[in-house]
A and B are shown apart, each in its own frame.
Chain A
Amino acid sequence: MKRTLAIAAGLAAGLAFGAGALAYDGTNCSAPGNCWEPKPGYPETVEGTKYDPQHDPAELSKQAESLAAMDERNAMRVKHFKETGEFVYDVSKIPGAN
């Protein structure tokens, strides 16, 4: 999802405070807790510019997938530990876990 960052604030700051405010100093906020502005000559959003990181969605999702898999294995370990009083780390050796 594309998000627009502080465009209104950037424009307003420029009009209200003149050229000095164009240099990003962190004090012109579009909303509480949202005070970023592009630096002079740099884009408001990087998508489609020469600074576009062009992130691969498949790469971006790998961490969440990894956490979900670890949580699932941990849940099997905890269940077996609670039920039997014996802790087994290797989920392939937990009866009924796979």
Chain B
Amino acid sequence: MSMRKTSPMPALTLAAFIAAPALTASPAFANDALVELAKDPSNWVMTGRDYSANNYSEMDQINSENVTELRSAWSFSTGVLHGHEGTPLVIGDVMYVHSPFPNTTFALDLNEPGKIIWQNKPKQNPTARSVACCDVVNRGLAYWPGDDEVEPLIFRTQLDGHIMAMSAETGETRWVMENSDIKVGSTLTIAPYVIKDNVIVGSSGAELGVRGYVTAYNVKTGEQVWRAFATGPDEDMRLSADFNAPNPHYGQWGLGLDTWEGDAWKIGGGTNWGWYAYDPDEDTFYYGSGNAAPWNETMRPGDNKWTNSIWGRDPDDGMARFAYQKTPHDEWDYAGVNVMMLSEQEDKDGNMRKLLTHPDRNGIVYTLDRTTGDLVSADKVDDTVNWTKTVQLDTGLPVRDPEFGTRMDHKSRDICPSAMGYHNQGHDSYDPERQLFFMGLNHICMDWEPFMLPYRAGQFFVGATLWMYPGPKGDRQNDLGLGQVKAYDAITGEFKWEVMERFAVWGGTMATAGGLTFYGTLDGFIKARDSDTGDLLWKYRLPSGAIGHPMTYEHDGTQYIAIYYGVGGWPGVGLVFDLQDPTAGLGSVGAFKRLQEYTQMGGGIMVFSLDGRSPYSDPNVGEYQPNEG
């Protein structure tokens, strides 16, 4: 067993927060400090843990031999219900916890987790809730380590469209900017992402016809640095002079207009509410743009670029180096915003490649060369995917099966995946030793019938009725068997193991050097599987279903595993809003009608360790001490 006890950076105690900027030499860029902080497995400084977004920890104190001794160490209720997505951050002695609407942020003292160091609770217009398509979730916080001018900061997005910076030490608000306007149906659920001295913010609202964009703000002042759209003129999309030069067949110039009829691109969707990854050496960050609007494909002829695309952009000026459209002319709401995981692996020809692997909503897991955008592999995550026969690696084009397309005046049946995808917002993991991706998957198919509707800013602009149900490997009679977990090799395309789950594995996974893969389930468990075999080694009954990803950190020599509980999100819409019509909740109510038999709403965090060791193993820690005299 090995676990680093000495941090490359000193643990950031409260005193250190104040003293650090004055005492330490300022690194060239703040993100260098973030890279260094992430190297210490005791920290978890961003979504995905570090810029490779692998959700992988080198720690092995908890391993496949002793995981049966894992017990709850402590817990914390956020005081709100609804879906709890994402994962908390840990920097030094502090855990930063976020919540769904109203998006309160908490800082907890890891030396005494019963103590809330600070909380920042925003006042938001409750109308924001009415334009959230899929529950009032939020995917996480971001951290900027500070420099000799400004103290370390925590960043938060709010459902009402604001991005704000607060002091990591005190929680005091530093600045607040408007990024999205709920009056036009534009909200924020994505976690902010810090690269150098910029904080990157995505967008939500394609179900209300919002044209997607990504924006960078200066971490210190909130000043807008750049903004890039997913559709429209090339200058709006910020395409670099050599955009897609290595792969001109992906398309290059003018397509943000030419692949739409008329002005439909102005309400064309392509929002990004998923996750980011960043390669500091290539100085490029990666993300996916979402679905086109409306869902009614007949109302928007064309490839609808650049919705549903994988992007590589320069974080300083936002200029796009490449984009690859996965689902041209989307007909199924395959919003292409899913997780991006970076790795370095040998390809089939034995060449070491810098890669990006991305399990998309459309049932294909894509691996691209992240320096060029070259397509390396594109495999079905399950053999029941039927909208496409195959993805041609030379042209990059998916060969559509017309039988499973959608169109006006027609009800399509048995399309797989459904609009919820074979993979959704879950942040998965990659084990660099085993060279395996551990993917939490959905197994849901659908019937789909579009209808005509007008666009009115601020109103829903969907235009399709859906019926969703378990895929062919599930139990359609009893509406169970809606999920899978698989270990995937991106080079060979093989699955080392795969298991079925009762419900969709919505929250993602986390892998550790202890040979374990952790994930939460909608029916209210955190589970640990053997990374080599997929065998279920341990589980624990959480208060409510989990839709976030597990994380791990070390504190005072003890490795902890933490996960949010609080069911919700798209699969929980029926339960959360008490809906009965199977086509309600954009079709998810029918698919998840059994969920309420296994869980109810909740909201909080559960933390685990071997034998449940915690700061309170000494019961006197944190006890009230009456004033002397």
Do A46 and B250 touch (CB < 8 A)?
no
Do A53 and B402 touch (CB < 8 A)?
no
Residues of B with C-beta under 8 A to A73? 178
Residues of chain A from 68 to 83 with CB closer than 8 A to chain B in the complex:
70-71, 73-75, 77-78, 81-82
Residues of B with C-beta under 8 A to A70? 178-179, 181
**Nearest A residue to B398 by beta-carbon distance?**
A26
Q: Residue B120 at the A interface, CB < 8 A? A: no
Do A47 and B210 touch (CB < 8 A)?
no
Which of B174, B179, B252, B454 is in CB contact (< 8 Å) with A53? B454
Q: Residue A93 at the B interface, CB < 8 A? A: no
Do A62 and B302 touch (CB < 8 A)?
no
**Nearest A residue to B458 by beta-carbon distance?**
A62
Complex Cα–Cα for A25 and B403 (A): 10
Q: Which of B174, B186, B210, B263 has the most CB of A within 10 A?
A: B263
Q: Chain A: interface residue count, which band?
A: 35 or more
Do A47 and B181 touch (CB < 8 A)?
no
Residues of chain B from 167 to 204 with CB closer than 8 A to chain A in the complex:
173-179, 181, 183-184, 186
- A59 vs chain B, min Cβ distance (A): 5
Residues of B with C-beta under 8 A to A6? 302
Which of A31, A33, A46, A54 is in CB contact (< 8 Å) with B261? A46
Which of A1, A29, A35, A51 is in CB contact (< 8 Å) with B298? A51
Q: Mark A26-64, 1 if CB is under 8 A from B, else 0.
A: 110101111110110011111100010111110111111
- A12 vs chain B, min Cβ distance (A): 16
Complex Cα–Cα for A34 and B258 (A): 8
- B370 vs chain A, min Cβ distance (A): 20
Q: Residue B490 at the A interface, CB < 8 A? A: no
Q: Secondary structure at chain B's binding surface: helix, strand, loop or mixed?
A: loop
**Given A27-B397, A33-B325, A81-B222, are A3 and B179 neighbors across the interface (CB < 8 Å)?**
no
Residues of B with C-beta under 8 A to A61? 266
- B300 vs chain A, min Cβ distance (A): 8
**Given A32-B251, A42-B298, are A66 and B183 neighbors across the interface (CB < 8 Å)?**
yes
Complex Cα–Cα for A27 and B455 (A): 31
Complex Cα–Cα for A13 and B456 (A): 37
Which of A27, A32, A74 is in CB contact (< 8 Å) with B177? A74
**Nearest A residue to B392 by beta-carbon distance?**
A27
**Nearest B residue to A28 by beta-carbon distance?**
B397
Do A32 and B250 touch (CB < 8 A)?
yes
Residues of B with C-beta under 8 A to A27? 392, 395, 397, 399
Do A24 and B392 touch (CB < 8 A)?
no
Q: Mark B306-329, 1 if CB is under 8 A from A, else 0.
A: 000000000000000000010011
Q: Closest 10 CB pairs between A and B? A: A33-B251, A62-B457, A23-B402, A70-B178, A66-B181, A26-B400, A78-B223, A60-B266, A53-B299, A74-B177
Tell me the A residues contacting B by CB distance below 8 Å.
1-3, 5-6, 23-27, 29, 31-36, 38-39, 42-47, 51, 53-57, 59-64, 66-67, 70-71, 73-75, 77-78, 81-82, 87, 89
14 A-B contacts (beta carbon < 8 Å)? A2-B261, A24-B402, A25-B400, A32-B248, A33-B250, A33-B255, A35-B303, A42-B407, A42-B408, A53-B454, A61-B266, A63-B186, A63-B267, A70-B181
